[in-house]
Amino acid sequence: MLIVSARRLHRPVWRAALACIASVASTAIAAASDTIPPVTACDRLHQESGPTMRVGEAQSRPAAGGLAAHCEVIAYLHERTGADGQKFAIGLHLRLPDAWNGRFVFQGQGGTDGVLGNGDAQPGGGQPSALNQGYATVTTDAGHSNAPGALGGASFGLDPQARIDFGYRADDVVTRQAKHFIQAYYGRLPKYSYFLGCSNGGRHGMVITQRFPEHFDGVAAGAPAFRMPEKGLSGAAVTQGFAAIAPKAPDGRPILAQALSQADMDLLSKAIVQSCDAADGLAEGIIDNVPACRFSPRTLQCPAEKTASCLSAVQVGALESYFQGPTTAQGRRIYASYPYDSGVATEGWRRWILGTAPDSRVNAFNVSFGATLAYLYMTPPHAPLANEAEAVYDFYRSVDVTEAHAKIFGTSAAMPESSVQTISANSVDLPGFRQRRGKLLLYHGVSDPTFSALDTLDWYTRLTNAAGGEETADFARLFLVPGMNHCSGGPATDSFDVLTPLVNWVEQGHAPDSIQARAGAKTPWPDRSRPLCPYPRQARYLGTGSIEQAENFTCAVP
């Protein structure tokens, strides 16, 4: 490993050293540039159908629509009839490039899965899809369909087997079957296998490291939803808190989006930045020193009546409840707290927590995912709700949080595993993944409004305490992204490639000491670049040069 201390080198030497590192990184993938052609025709993969799998499509595709020439395979595993006579199957969407680089990428999907996905795997940072880089790629619906008219959305959670398929089984069976297709098509198994995913896709990545460590050499898990049931219940408590202070619509329901105006959130964000930005030594709109931020919204509380320059007492209380994390009636914390960061005034934050609907027709993602608590997380599941969004909203803002907390840990004769056991991936016991020398690259936006960066940080701290600091950094690294909302967006350098550094780590032994990231056009500083740093290191300005360029920053221990 080449370690360069920028502070100890003259700038020309330092730039040359960085150029050397960049050269090593850019050639890591090229080192295995010899491509592997197919040994059989694509349509012959139809013959792989059997008692537990049906190949619905196996067809050669010429280069078109931004995709390289490849063999496309769609298959259905373990087809069955489940709850209420509904049809279930674990869908698989595989793309096998004509010029294969000997590697395989499984991309996990967000939400509650339920769609086959495009199957080409996106590494981020404006890089070509993994398929177009020569990887065999796959996505899955995780065992159910969200299509209109099907048992879609979260209601698949009424079926015990569908819960298990979504929770972890699909990760195993899809990986095994995809590799079987790869061997049938190319005459050999992949030399290296990788998993990429954010949100629920990040959760799937964590599941793999904990339950199926033999499948993948490297996993990149972003904003991992590894405590999805607890977060779902926390979302209900947060919605109740904001709904309680929101003005009422004529139908009597709270207008959730008006609990805090955009001007209120702008005021909050500005105060957070003013309080915490300079703690990293540079006041430029990015809060790199997250642990040093000690902001309190009480500093914005109006001394009397609400005005444009302050927040009402009830607004401050609702915000404190959100950032601190709600508890049960007995004081038991339901989910993690959230960091104060600059991205709270963004459309991405509002879209998740408050929505934008001008009336009681709520469009906040928190509420739209409310049915997951009813059907997927609680055991026994809640009785089916009406299809109207208003019914889900009414359930979410009225459910007894303490009773529901017991039910996410509950079991039944039909569902002997609780949703926490089936869906969560909170363990730090990773002996299998470590023994196979697997690499785990975690990343999380500090302004993520749904899955808290502090929860991921707590998981990483527990892993470090269990395995030791140096030992942990050898196989798992966490990169916090200041200002970034859920998986992307916000006043952040949110565009970065996770596949290249993961491949370099696995195949070349070059652990990622930083990942270069770039800000998008909608940020306050378009095209700004920064190094993302492995925790606990933070980006620090070197003192000279443009603050808009990553080369003028280093990753340092605070």
pLDDT tens digit sequence for 141-179: 999 998 765 445 788 999 999 999 999 999 999 999 999
| One-letter identity of residue 96 | L
Question: Which residue, among 203, 284, 357, 327, has the nearest Cα to 529 in the 3D structure?
Answer: 284
| Most distant pair of Cα atoms in the chain: their distance | 77
Give the residue-averaged pLDDT of 285-295. 96
Domain ranges of the chain: 230-240+254-404
Burial letters 510-524, b for 16+ CB under 10 A, else e = bbbbbbbbbbbeebe
Peptide bond into 128 cis (omega under 30): no
pLDDT at 310 over 70: yes
Q: What is the pLDDT of residue 392?
A: 82
- Whole-angstrom distance, CA of residue 10 vs CA of residue 255: 59
- pLDDT tens across 121-142, in order? 999 999 999 999 999 999 999 9
pLDDT at 28 over 80: no
The per-type count for the chain, helices as H runs and strands as E runs, is 17, 13
Report the C-alpha gap between 323 and 460 in whole angstroms: 20
Q: At residue 323, does pLDDT exceed 80?
A: yes
Which of these, 484, 496, 480, lies nearest to 448 by C-alpha position? 484
**pLDDT on residue 388:** 64
4 vs 161, residue with greater confidence: 161
Q: Is the pLDDT of residue 351 over 70?
A: yes
Q: Which two tokens stand for residue 235?
A: 């979302």
| DSSP state, residue 168 | I
pLDDT band at 518 (very low <50, low <70, confident <90, very high): very high
Q: What is the CA radius of gyration of the chain?
A: 24
Give the span between the Cα atoms of 360 and 251, in whole angstroms.
Answer: 8
Contact 235, 260 (CB under 8 A): no
Q: Given the DSSP bridges, would you call strands 218-222 and 439-445 parallel, antiparallel or unpaired? A: parallel
- For residues 361 and 6, the model is more confident at 361
Asked about 113 being catalytic, the answer comes back as: no
Output the CA–CA distances (angstroms, integers) from residue 356 to 48, 123, 348, 363, 487, in the order listed.
49, 30, 11, 7, 20
C-alpha pair distances (Å), 505 with each of 1, 108, 459, 479, 500: 10, 20, 22, 15, 9
Q: What is the mean pLDDT of residues 411-424?
A: 97
Active-site residue (options: 129, 145, 193, 199):
199
Q: Does residue 23 carry a pLDDT above 70?
A: no
Catalytic residue among 204, 288, 486, 529: 486
Annotated active-site residue 312? The verdict is: no
486 is catalytic: yes
Q: Give the Cβ contact number of residue 87 at 10 Å.
A: 13
